[in-house]
A and B are shown apart, each in its own frame.
Chain A
C-alpha cells in the first residue's frame, strides 16, 4: 500500500511525571508515544476498535446488515499473522522481536516487544495488520488450533463461571458469547466473511497505535504516517447494531459441574445501557469501582468478616466492567458455600446502598488509586495497552486523574445506589463434579473474563 506521508498534529501531555505525545493523522489514525528513558524494552500495540461483540453490522460501502459467526474477530486476529510469503511471526523473530495479539469484547490488538530493530519491527506491525491474506486451507488449519484454545478455557473454572454468568445476565447482547466463540461457531467461518470483517473494521480511523519505551515520538509518527497516515475514504462511523437488550437478567442462576476441588461463585449485576463515553464513562467506572472497593475490597469490614468465616480467600474480587454498549459488575471467587456467600454479598451491597460510603474511605481509596496510577507508568506494556483501550472510549489516562480529583463520597454513594438493583443480579456457580476431587478445597488464582490471546 502506498500512501503519501501525511502531516500530523501533535499534543504534548505529562503522565505521572513522564511525557506523553499524541498525534492525529489525516486518515483518522491516532498514535501515542510514551517515551521511557533508561528502559530497554520498546513496546508497540496497534489496536482496532473491533471485538467479539461486533457480530452485527453494516459492512462499509454496503446497505444491508450482516450477522457473522461468534468468535470471528478472534479468528481474524489469528489469521492475520499468516501471509503468502509465510508467517509474520518469523519476520518478528528474525528481528528479535516478540509478537502477540489478543481479542477482547471490544478490541483486537496486535503488539510486539523488542529491544533492537524497533523501526523495522514497527514497520512490520503497521503493514501486516492492513494486509489480509486468507486461504481455505489456512482457515481449516486454524480451526484445529483455536478448537484447542477453546477446550483449554472450557477446563478453566474461572473462565467457565464467567461465561455462564454472562449468559445469565444477558438475553441477546453478544457480550453473552465467549470471545473465542464455540467449536461449532468457528467451524462456520469461511474466507469471504473474514475479508468482509477486515475491510469493515480495519481502517485507520478505527485504529490506534500506542508505543512505550526509549523511542523518539517523531520517528514513530513518521513511520505511522507512511504506513497509515494518508487520507482514505471515510472510515468513520462504522455501523454496529446491538440487539435490543431487556433491562432485566436472562436467568437468575446458572450451575456447571467441572473436575475441580471446590465451588466457585460469580455474582453479576447488570447495568442498563447508558451509551456513555469519554469522561462520563470514566466517571461512572471510577465511582462504582471505588464503591465496590469500599464495600467489598480488602480493607472493608465485609471482606474481613467473610475471610474470617472462611467464605472467601485471595481469589475473591469485585469489579465493575464497562463500555458504552454494556456494563456489569462481577464479584466472587472460590468458596466452600456459594449459597451462603451469595446471601452475604447481597446483604453487604444492600447495606452499603442504605448507609452510603463515607468520606474518609473514599479519600483513602483515592490515595491508593493515585499510587497505582503512578506505579503503572513503570510498565511499558501496561501504559501502551491502556492508551490504546482508553482511546476507544475517547479518553487518555489523564482523564482518570482529573475525574478522580472530582469524585467525592456523595458521587460514589449515588453511583452505587443507581447501579445495585436486586432485579438485575444473577449468579453463576461452578461445582465439583464429585469424581476428581473432594467437595471442598482449592484455590487457583485467575481473573474473570479477560481477553483471548493468540
Chain B
C-alpha cells in the first residue's frame, strides 16, 4: 500500500504568538528545515522595498552584527544554513527567511534534543525582529551596499538568456498588471530608498504583516510550537496589529481567452535583438483554468502531454525529430492562467520551430493524443509529486503556493486527481488555451531576417556576430 495515501504526510496549522505555524512531522530527514514567509501584495509602490529589506536584514543582527559573525555562528552549528529569498506567485510577493540544520540526534556525541532547531529558529527570528541598527534605524552602510547589489541583480536579469526571455514575455503579456513586475523590483525606485525610508517600510509594511512559519522535522507539531513560543518570548516579541492580506484576483483580461473560447486573433509579437549565439522563444498562452479551478488537474495533464517531460510532444517533435533545439518545454503559470512554451533555437530557424510548436498545440486541441502519451504523463507526474515528498523545501514551496492560491492541493490529492483524468478532460482543457503574446530573443545578425510586422524592440546596433 502506498505511503502516499496517508494524508498525515502533510502540514498541520496552528497559531503561535500571532504567527501561523505550519508543521509537517516526518522522521524521514536528518535535516530540520524552517522557513519564515511573509506574503505581501505585489504592487508597484512596494515591490522594490520589499525585495531590498530581507537582504539588508541578513547583513547582521543585534547579537551577530556582520555577515562574518552570522557565517561563523552557522559553521559552529554544524554547517546550518540561513538565506533570504524574494519570489512572486500570482499577485503576491513572498519575502522569506530560510534555514536548515542537521537534527541533534545525528550529530557526533549528541542525543535527541532541540538544540539545533532552537538555535535555527532563534536566528531566523533575530534576523526578522532584531536587525543590526545604528542610531535607531537600519545600518545606513548596509542599506547603501545592498541597494547597489540589488541594482546589479536587477540589471543582471539580462545575463541569463533563458530566464531573461521568460521575464520579458511576462512583462509584455501582463503589462499594466502586478504580475508584470519583477520579483526584485524596479531600478527607478532605488534612489529614494535610504536607510530612514527603508526602516519605515520595514516597520510599517514588513512587520505589519502576518507571517507564516513552516517547519519540516521529526519532533512533532506540539514540540515545535512550544519551541517557537519560547524563542519568541526570549526575544520579547509581541504580535502587533496585523493587516490581513488577501491578494486581489488577477485583473480581467480584454477578452483574450477569458471566456474559454479560443480566439482567432493572432498573438502580439515582440522581438528583441542582442549579441547572442542562440535565439530564445518564449510564447505566452492564456487559459481560464487556474490553480484553484476544478479543471486544474486536467490542465496539469495537458501541460505534461504537451511539453512537461522528455516524452512530451514538444520534446519529441522539436528536438528529437527535427534537431531544432536542445531545450524545449511548456510550463503552467497557474496562479495567472497562463501557459508558457520556451525553446532555444538557431535564430534563423525561428519560423520553422514556431510552426512545429503551434502544430503540437493544435494537435492537443484536436485530441491527437495516444494512450501511451497519457499514461507516461500520468506516471511522470505521480513520480514527480512523490519524489517531492522526499524534499523538505519542495514540500514547503508547494504548501506556500497553496496558501497564496487560496487552496491546498496536497500531493496525495493531486495524485488521486490525475489518476482519474481521461482524454476528454484533457481535450476540454486544450480548448481553453489561446495564444496571447509571443516573445523572441534573437541575434543581431538574425534580426535583419525577421518577418515584417513584428513589434521590434531592438537594443543596440544591428551588427553581425
Chain A residues with CB under 8 Å of chain B are: 16-17, 38-41, 87, 89-90, 93-99, 113-116, 141-149, 151-152, 154-157, 258-262, 297-301, 303-304, 307-308, 310, 313, 334, 336, 364-365, 367-372, 374-375, 377-380, 433, 435-438, 440-444, 446
Contact = CB atoms under 8 A, between A and B. Distances in A.
Interface string B302-325: 000000011100000001101111
Contacts of A370: 78-79, 107-108
Contacts of B383: 96-98, 113-116
Contact of A438 (B155, B163, B386): B155
A313 B390 contact: no
B216 to A, nearest CB: 11
B193 interface: no
Contacts of A261: 152, 155-156, 158-159
A436 B275 contact: yes
A423 B385 CA distance: 52
A443 B67 contact: no
Contacts of A98: 309-310, 380, 383-384
Contacts, number: 225
B76 interface: yes
B277 A38 contact: no
Contact of A441 (B78, B101, B156, B387): B156
B436 interface: no
B31 A378 contact: yes
A368 B78 contact: yes
A299 B75 contact: yes
A144 B459 CA distance: 28
Nearest to A146: B326
B310 A364 contact: no
Interface stretch (B22-30, B225-233, B358-366, B419-427): B22-30
A313 B387 contact: no
Contacts of A442: 152-153, 155-156, 158-159
Contacts of A143: 323
Q: Which 8 A-B pairs have the closest CB atoms?
A: A442-B156, A441-B155, A144-B323, A371-B78, A96-B379, A371-B79, A435-B460, A299-B71
A334 B77 contact: no
Contacts of A437: 155, 158
Contact of A307 (B67, B376, B379, B386): B67
Contacts of B159: 157, 260-262, 442-444
B397 interface: no
B318 to A, nearest CB: 10
Contacts of A94: 372, 375-376, 379
A16 B30 contact: yes
7 contacts: A94-B379, A113-B383, A152-B161, A371-B79, A374-B107, A433-B275, A435-B463
A336 B156 CA distance: 12
B263 interface: no
A17 B106 contact: yes
A342 B94 CA distance: 36
Interface residues of B, number: 79
A297 B71 CA distance: 9
Contacts of B390: 39-41, 380
A65 to B, nearest CB: 33
A155 B279 CA distance: 10
A376 B344 CA distance: 33
Given A154-B278, A299-B72, A375-B102, A40 B387 contact: yes
Contacts of A303: 67-68, 71
B30 A378 contact: yes
B447 interface: no
Nearest to B325: A148
Contacts of B107: 370-371, 374
Contact of B68 (A40, A299, A313): A299
Interface string B321-353: 011111100000000000000001110000000
A374 B152 contact: no
| Among B30, B71, B100, B387, residue most surrounded by chain A Cβ atoms (within 10 Å) | B387
B332 to A, nearest CB: 19
A304 B67 contact: yes
Contacts of A144: 322-324
B432 interface: no
B249 to A, nearest CB: 32
B42 to A, nearest CB: 21
B80 interface: yes
A446 B145 CA distance: 22
Given A98-B383, A114-B383, A144-B324, A89 B311 contact: yes
Interface string B413-443: 0000000000000000000000000000000
B145 A374 contact: no
B76 A364 contact: yes
Contacts of A377: 30
B452 interface: no
B75 A16 contact: no
Given A259-B274, A435-B460, 5 more contacts: A38-B26, A115-B386, A364-B76, A435-B274, A437-B155
B3 interface: yes
A152 B155 contact: no
B149 A435 contact: no
B29, B160, B325, B372: residue with the most chain A Cβ atoms closer than 10 Å? B160
B119 interface: no
A266 to B, nearest CB: 15
Contact of A145 (B77, B160, B319): B319
Contact of A152 (B145, B326, B379): B326
A301 B79 contact: no
B31 A375 contact: yes
A199 B148 CA distance: 55
Contacts of A438: 155
A17 B344 CA distance: 44
Contact of A300 (B68, B101, B152, B158): B68
A375 B102 CA distance: 6
A380 B390 CA distance: 9
Contacts of B196: none
Given A378-B30, A437-B155, A304 B275 contact: no
B31 A436 contact: no
Contacts of A116: 379, 383
A88 to B, nearest CB: 10
Contacts of B156: 260-262, 334, 441-444
A398 B149 CA distance: 40
B389 interface: yes
B159 to A, nearest CB: 4
Contacts of B459: 435-436
Contact of B155 (A38, A262, A301, A374): A262
